[in-house]
Structure formats: C-alpha cells, structure tokens
Amino acid sequence: MSTNGSKPKFAMYWASSCGGCEIAVLNIGEKILDVDANFDVVFWPVAMDAKYKDVEALEDGAITLCLFNGGIRTAENEHLAHLLRRKSKLLVSFGSCATEGCVPGLANLSRPQDILDTAFGTLTTDNPQAVRPIYDYPAPEGPLRIPVFQAAVRTLDQVVPVDYYMPGCPPESHQIAAVVELVIKALNGQAELPPRGATIGAGASTCCDECPRERNVKTIKQFVRIQDLEQIDPKLCLLEQGLPCNGPATRSGCGALCPKVSAQCIGCYGPAEGVVDYGARLITAFASVIDAKDPAEIERILDTLPDPTGQFYRFNLAKSLLRAGRPAWSQQ
Ligand code: SF4
Ligand code: SF4
C-alpha cells in the first residue's frame, strides 16, 4: 500500500452509537501516539474540530484508514457513510453498532412514531406543548434542518460496502492496538492485510473456547437469573448452572472476560465465525443443555428465560435474518 511519501490519513466517525468505541480507542494507551506518529488525523469529531466540508474537499480515496462506528439511523448517518466510503481506502465497520446494529438496533422492534412519542411524550420529558422534531423549519434567520430519523437502524454494510469488520461493544483496546499496529506494518511493507471482508481484531472460534469453565457435565431444568442463584460454582460452565450464557454462539476475542468473573456472556462480540443467525445458533446451544425430551417440558423450561429478545438478539437484531431483508417499518 503506497503512502506517496506523506503520512497516510486517518479518520474516525461515530454514527448512531453511545461513544464507547471512541473511549476504547483512546484507551489503547501510549499506542495512541503511534496513530499520531504514523497518520495525519483528518477527521475525528470526538477528538478534534473538522467540518464535513473538509472531508468533502479531500480527493476520493484520500483517507487511508477510516474506523466507522455506529449504526445508520438518521439521514446524517447515511450521508456520512457514503461520504467516508468514497473518501476512504480502508473502511472498517468498527464495533457492534456499525457491524450488527447493537442495542440501538432493538429499536427496530418499534415503529419510529412510537419511539418519538416515548422520547418526547412520556413522564420523564418536560414537554407541555407536545413539541415533536421538525426536520425543516423556516426560521426568520434562514431554514433550519435536523437529520431525518429513518425507518429503522441499519448496519454500515447494509448501506455501503465495507472492507473489514471489527466486532465488540466496544472492541477490546488490546485488539484495537493490534489492528493499528498491523495496519502500520502493512503501510511500511512489513505485513500483509487480511483479505477484504474479513473480521479483524477478534478470534475465529467461540467465547466458550476461551473460557476456562468446565463444560458438558450437567443439564438443567430451568434458567435462572444471576441474582437468584445462592452460590455460583466458580469452575462449572454458567450455562450448566442455569445462567443463560451466550458463549456458545459468540465470537472469541475478548478472552471470555465476563464468564471469568461469573457473569454470563451477553454476546457483545457478535456471531462466531460461520454463524448465519446468532439467535438461531444460541437457541440450538441452549436446547443442548435442557434436561427434557417432552416438547411441553422443553417449552416450559424455555419460558423461564426472562427476556428472549434481549437474550438472543440484544446486539444483532438489525443484522439478523429477522431484520435483514428490509426495514421493519417501511412507513414513518
Ligand atoms: S457457556 Fe459461558 S460459562 Fe459456559 S463455557 Fe461457554 S462462555 Fe464459559
Ligand atoms: S464475555 Fe461476551 S459479553 Fe463479555 S466481553 Fe466477552 S463477548 Fe462481550
């Protein structure tokens, strides 16, 4: 990859997300100095002042590496996705929101109008005049515009082609540091980048493969919440203690952080390699620990899961087979 003698350009953008991905990047410690030493940071709204027109003025493909976090929920998110795709050589779908919709994607279960009514019209909002967003407002000083709230959350690759996927909510800082190092080495001709479309900064197996807990020794008669267990066996698989742990369907890469401290994996690293639909794979894994053959009994045990949607699709509803075909709500 040629840099034409000058430093390659770096950009990072947040679309519909919480900002945790940005913090995870800043959390790579002194490696952040390598970013500064090896790149010209041309656009990173959370860290520096730059205008959209500065990005628009760049030649197409001028940005070598762009980390794009956040899903696509507004017209502004969509505009920036197209703009940064055009201006970037390597566009990385960075973090769970960009890659699979993440928690904001759960809003695809609700109609846009209902979301706005909840945000602007429930008890916790002081809004006596029942004001709602006005996307185009003819103010005396000139027209005011805010980005249109779109019909559903989409992933970045449902809007533009991406070069790499980096999962995690947020991606682990040591994984980010490794990816930055790899890109820098590739720029200097000392390493090869993986093939386009690859998942980077994560493992190729499951969270269970990184988890030290003992598996396949017990089956369960019900699922339980963590607060309902009197004691957690420190060595036994959490799923086999009745805690709905998402490890079997989740991509490795975090080092099984949560099960190591007796909290179940909730799936923030997204589907493991080769998993087409995360929820479907997880249901299969859960079924394998249920101690029942009678369908009614299996149903009863599954009914002890307190929040099936959150359990199976907390991070990837927008990317799942259930929501991949078209926006859930095509009418605003
Ligand atoms: S299901 Fe959870 S606790 Fe059990 S081995 Fe997998 S990651 Fe560990
Ligand atoms: S154990 Fe699961 S929820 Fe916890 S950090 Fe790892 S992938 Fe995310």
* C-alpha triplet 55, 56, 57: angle, nearest 5°: 90
Atom 6 in ligand 1: residue holding the nearest Cα: 208
Atom 4 in ligand 1: residue holding the nearest Cα: 237
Distance 252 CA to ligand 2 centre (A): 8
Would you state the pLDDT for residue 323? 66
Distance 258 CA to ligand 2 centre (A): 6
Would you state the pLDDT for residue 325? 46
Helices (H) and strands (E) in the chain, counts: 13, 9
Q: Is the pTM of this model over 0.75?
A: yes
Would you state the pLDDT for residue 295? 87
Q: Which of 26, 27, 10 shows the shortest CA–CA distance to 68? A: 10
Distance 46 CA to ligand 1 centre (A): 36
Q: State whether the Cα torsion 95-156-87-185 is positive or negative.
A: positive
Evaluate: CB of 116 within 6 angstroms of ligand 2: no
Evaluate: CB of 249 within 6 angstroms of ligand 2: no
Distance 55 CA to ligand 1 centre (A): 44
**Which long-range CB contacts under 8 A does 21-27 form with residues at least 24 apart?**
21/67, 21/69, 21/70, 21/94, 21/95, 21/97, 21/170, 21/171, 22/46, 22/47, 22/69, 23/170, 24/95, 24/168, 24/170, 24/171, 24/172, 24/173, 24/176, 25/67, 25/173, 25/176, 27/173
Distance 212 CA to ligand 2 centre (A): 14
Contact present, 244 and 301 (Cβ < 8 Å): no
Contact present, 223 and 238 (Cβ < 8 Å): no
Contact present, 323 and 102 (Cβ < 8 Å): no
- Kindly give the number of the ligand 1 atom that is closest to the alpha carbon of 215: 5
User: What is the distance between the alpha carbons of residues 241 and 288, in angstroms, rounded to a whole number?
Assistant: 13
User: What is the distance between the alpha carbons of residues 86 and 88, in angstroms, rounded to a whole number?
Assistant: 6
Structure-token pair, residue 142: 């000139």
- Kindly give the number of the ligand 1 atom that is closest to the alpha carbon of 211: 8
Q: Which of 80, 96, 73, 70 shows the shortest CA–CA distance to 329? A: 73
Ligand 1 is surrounded, with C-beta below 6 A, by: 207-208, 211, 213, 215, 237-239, 245, 247-248, 256, 259, 265
pLDDT tens figures, 39-56: 999 999 998 998 999 999
In the three-class reduction of DSSP (H, G, I as helix; E, B as strand; rest coil), residue 16 is classed as strand
Would you state the pLDDT for residue 330? 52
Evaluate: CB of 245 within 6 angstroms of ligand 2: no
Q: Are strands 136-139 and 88-94 parallel, antiparallel or unpaired?
A: unpaired
- Kindly give the number of the ligand 2 atom that is closest to the alpha carbon of 268: 8
Structure-token pair, residue 86: 């055009």
Q: Which of 222, 268, 265 shows the shortest CA–CA distance to 241? A: 222
Evaluate: CB of 58 within 6 angstroms of ligand 2: no
Low-confidence ranges of the chain (pLDDT < 70): 1-5, 323-332
Identify any residues that bridge with 9 across adjacent strands, giving them in sequence order: 40, 63
Domains of the chain: residue spans and CATH: 9-103+151-187 (3.40.50.700), 110-150 (no CATH), 207-324 (no CATH)
Atom 5 in ligand 1: residue holding the nearest Cα: 208
Would you state the pLDDT for residue 80? 98
User: What is the distance between the alpha carbons of residues 54 and 48, in angstroms, rounded to a whole number?
Assistant: 13
Would you state the pLDDT for residue 306? 86
In the three-class reduction of DSSP (H, G, I as helix; E, B as strand; rest coil), residue 258 is classed as helix
